[in-house]
Structure formats: structure tokens, C-alpha cells
Amino acid sequence: MSNRQKSEPGRRTRQRILDTTLALYNERGEARVSTSLIAAELGISAGNLHYHFRHKDLLSAALLVRFVSEFAALLPPKG
């Protein structure tokens, strides 16, 4: 099994975590969402969540990076 195949489930889990976190932030507000709530919503252990994102701040930062990347793709090219 290649490294890519081994890491694909991890990438999918990371994306599920980000998608669920964004949905919870939108629904409840960032201050009312804990990593425990995110893990419970996903049906994964808190340890699995922390494997991908050590702190809630890292989750928020990853969402911001994703947003900026998606927004930048919508802008016309410079030049």
C-alpha cells in the first residue's frame, strides 16, 4: 500500500472535521462550540480529533485558510 493510499482516510477525516466544525460554528457560534462537541457530532473520539487538530484555534485557522483560498480563486488574476 502506498503512502497516498494510507493517508487518504486521514485526509477525508480532516475534511469531515472541518466541514462539521464550520457547520457548528454557523449554527451555534464559535464560542459555543467545543472540540468535545465536534468529536461527538462526528462520532469520533476526542483523541482522533486532537490527532488532526491539537487545539480549537488550529481548527479555526484551517477554516480561515480554506476560506481565503476559495475566495482567492474567485478573484480575477493580477496583472
Give 14-43 pLDDT, tens digit per residue: 999 999 999 999 999 999 999 999 999 999
Contacts 24+ apart (CB under 8 A), 3-9: none
Least confident of 8-12, 21-25, 60-64: 8-12
Domains of the chain: 3-74 (1.10.357.10)
Q: Residue 7: is its pLDDT beyond 80?
A: no
Contacts of 33 (CB under 8 A, 6+ apart): 21, 24, 25, 56
